[in-house]
Structure 1
Amino acid sequence: MSIEKYRGYVVEGFAKPVEGGMFESLGRVSRDDNVIAESDVLESCARYGDAQARAIQWAQEYVDRLEDPR
């Protein structure tokens, strides 16, 4: 799991091992200990770190939409 603070939110990236040596990426956004959003599986990646990075990217984009919903 990878955890970062981003624009006042906590963004988390998860890499869940699956068959074939792949990792599914999943993200979560929270603030003040309240979960605001959790992703479904975003994609499958061959590397653990890539799956976490993709999930963090999703979470940051989610926060950006919350803060500037244009």
Structure 2
Amino acid sequence: MSIQRYGHYIIEGFGKPVGGGKFAALGRVRLGDFTVEESDELGHFEQFADAQSRGLSWAQRRADEMSAGH
């Protein structure tokens, strides 16, 4: 899992093993201890780090969209 503070949010990117040597990318946006939004699977990657990066990118975009709405 990769975790970063991003503005008022905490964003997370995950790589979940799905078999065949691949990892599903997932993202999460939190505000403190509260989960604001979680992604569905964002695609499958051969490298764990690539899956984490994709999840983190998704979370960053969602945090930007939520911040723009305020």
* Class of the TM-score when normalised by the shorter of the 2 chains: over 0.9
Measured in 2, the distance between the counterparts of 1:32 and 1:44 equals 29
CA RMSD of aligned residues (A): 0.7
Gaps of 5+ in 2: none
Q: Which residue of 2 aligns with 1:42?
A: 42
TM-score (norm 1): 0.94
Q: Which residue of 2 aligns with 1:6?
A: 6
Q: Which amino acid aligns with 2:46?
A: A
Gaps of 5+ in 1: none
Q: Which residue of 1 aligns with 2:22?
A: 22
- Pair 1:65 & 2:43 matched: no
1:7 Cα deviation after fit: 1.0
1:8 Cα deviation after fit: 1.4
The alignment of Structure 1 onto Structure 2 pairs a total of residues equal to 69
1:65 Cα deviation after fit: 0.5
Measured in 2, the distance between the counterparts of 1:44 and 1:65 equals 24
Measured in 2, the distance between the counterparts of 1:4 and 1:11 equals 5
Deviation per CA, 1:17-58: give whole Å up to 9, x if none: 111100000000001210000000001001000000000000
Percent identity of equivalent pairs: 45
TM-score (norm 2): 0.94
